[in-house]
Amino acid sequence: MAGSEADAARALARDRRARVLQALGLTAPLLVFLAFTFLIPIGALLMRAVENPEVARALPATVAVLDSWDTVSAPPDGAYRAFADDLLAMAEPADAGGLARRLNSELPGARSLVMGAFRQRESFATLDAPAAKAAFLALDERWQQPELWRVIARNGSRWTPDYLLASVDRRRDATGDVVAVPEEQAVFVRILLRTLGIGATVTLVCLVLAYPLAWWLSTLPVRKANRLLILVLVPFWTSVLVRVAAWIVLLQSEGLVNRALAGLGWIDRPLELLFNRTGVIIAMVHILLPFMILPLYSVMKGIPRDYQRAAVSLGSHPLGAFVRVFVPQTLPGVTAGVLLVFILAIGYYVTPALLGGPADQMLSSSVAQYANVELNWGMACALGAVLLTATLVLYGVYRRFATGEGLTA
């Protein structure tokens, strides 16, 4: 008897293993695909946030010489010689261009210094170290400033925390301590707070508008509720760009909203509703509202009304019964909806880009600005890493709260 039980247990375990293997086998194609198209690209972004290849790649000899420099006294003559060698070793002007841009981002004016020396590099070919120094100084006096060489020495390593520090308004000072950047340069914490602030405002407005609607829908017969839900789903399916275009038409100074308000006599001249915070928030609420309504409705639909009725029959005021009996049961839906809308909102790019002004741009816009306009990929990726971190922390919380539905368990 005991033997056959052990056999059965073994067979069960074998069956379980086979099913897990089958599950992994069927999931593997998707996982490999996502690794290639999604996970590795995100890894590339995170790598680029701490990578600092320009100086290390363009100036290997100079960096080696500066290694033994005390960073305070005059730069050694050998550094000028090494810099000339590094310039002579460059294959094409683009290499010097990348270096010049990198140095210029830390020391304004460095671009013209580097490009000027690059154009004259042939003349440095045969000079010894003191002569090389003299030749550089003859080109431009600024070659003797220690700050320039300090910037080169500081960026000589292939990896750097500087972009990540900069993305939270910190930097390393001359001695390597982490300090706050000067007040007038501190922009990113403000943009991060603005991003979270816009996200919170949009989430709150969505909750206030969605809660009564979801409640009302949940009290209706299913057929009627489904028919009204279509009105929620049409905008959900409509292109975000269509909706942005619609809001531009509605909110412009001679648009329907301003005309209606003027017609009612509430305003004398058109309100500024576009290219400012108002327009951004209205359009974002419009786009994200369905993401709040649907989880709230699906939770409320499953709540039996008996407890509320019991509370009323026991003498509670209907409003009191609603607040103390019904609302607590909807909290899982509220948490899911709030987190989902907030997570989606802080990643928004299109709506602020098209409907906001410069003071309404969110973290995503800074990422795009550094990537597309400044071509500063280190900064773009560091800001992207900050945005990703905030999102993933919230996503972790969301997965803890969202239970019981399909795959979320």
Partner 1 sequence: MTVTPERIGLFAVRALCVGVLAFLLLPILVIVPLSFSASSFLVYPVTDWSLHWYRELFASAEWRRAAANSFLVAPAATVIATVLGTLAAVGLSRVSFAGKGLLLAVLISPMIVPIVVVGVGAYLFFAKLGLADSYAGLVLVHAALGTPFVLTTVSATLEGFDRNLARASASLGAGPVRTFFRVTLPVVAPGVVAGALFAFATSFDEVVVTLFVAGPEQTTLPRQMFTGIRENITPVIAAVATLLTVFTTALMFVLEVLRSRRSLPG
Span 194-223, contacts to partner 1 by CB under 8 A: 209-210, 212-213, 215-217
Amino acid 45 reads L
- Euclidean distance between CA atoms 216 and 210, whole angstroms: 10
Instruction: Report angle CA 247, 227, 250 to the nearest 5 degrees.
Output: 10
**Could you say which of 8, 11, 245, 397 contacts partner 1 (CB under 8 A)?**
245
CA distance 172 to 111: 22
Tell me which of 89, 174, 228, 267 binds partner 1, using CB under 8 A. Answer: 228
Pick the stretch among 106-114, 116-124, 181-189, 378-386 that binds partner 1 (CB under 8 A). 378-386
Q: Is residue 40 part of the contact set for partner 1 (CB under 8 A)?
A: yes
Both tokens assigned to 273: 């509703």
Q: Closer CB to partner 1, residue 144 or residue 252?
A: 252
Buried-state track 164-198, b at ≥16 Cβ within 10 A, e below 16: bbbbebbbeeeeeeeeebeeeeeebeebbebbbeb
Give which of 75, 215, 197 is closest to 132, Cα–Cα: 75
Q: Which of 165, 189, 225, 368 binds partner 1 (CB under 8 A)?
A: 368
What is the nearest approach in angstroms of partner 1 to the Cβ of residue 406?
4
Secondary structure of residue 97 in the 3-state scheme: helix
Least distance to partner 1 from the beta carbon of 245, Å? 5
Closest separation in Å from C-beta 18 to partner 1:
10
- Please say which residue, 156 or 290, places its beta carbon nearer to partner 1: 290
Q: Which stretch binds partner 1 (CB under 8 A): 73-81, 152-160, 170-178, 363-371?
A: 363-371
337 binds partner 1 (CB under 8 A): no
Residue 164, interface with partner 1 (CB under 8 A)?
A: no
Of 6, 187, 193, 233, the one binding partner 1 by CB under 8 A: 233
Q: Which of 4, 37, 175, 313 binds partner 1 (CB under 8 A)?
A: 37
The least CB distance from residue 220 to partner 1, in Å, is: 10
Chain positions 43 to 72 lying near partner 1, rule: CB under 8 A, are 43-45, 48
CB 170 within 8 A of CB 180: yes
The reply on whether position 9 binds partner 1 by CB under 8 A is no
Tokens of 80: 């000028």
C-beta separation of 104 from 139 below 8 A: no
CB-based contact 111:104 (threshold 8 Å): yes
256 binds partner 1 (CB under 8 A): yes
From CA 398, how far away is CA 41, in angstroms rounded?
Answer: 24
Determine the interface stretch with partner 1 among 109-117, 139-147, 169-177, 255-263 (rule: CB under 8 A).
255-263
CA atoms within 13 A on the CB side of 102: 24
29 belongs to the binding site for partner 1 (CB under 8 A): yes
Collapse the DSSP code of 212 into the 3-class scheme (helix H, G, I; strand E, B; otherwise coil) and give the result: helix
Q: What b/e sequence results for 308-328 when a residue is b if at least 16 CB atoms lie within 10 Å of its CB, and e otherwise?
A: beebeeeebeeeebeeebbee
Q: Choose one: 6-14, 71-79, 113-121, 381-389; the region binding partner 1 (CB under 8 A).
A: 381-389
Using CB under 8 A, which of 65, 114, 284, 354 touches partner 1? Answer: 354
- Please give the residues from 307 up to 326 whose contact with partner 1 meets the rule CB under 8 A: 318-319
Selected binder of partner 1 within 27, 123, 157, 185 (CB under 8 A)? 27
Kindly state the number of chain residues that form the binding site for partner 1, as judged by CB under 8 A.
92
Of the chain, the end-to-end C-alpha distance in Å amounts to 39
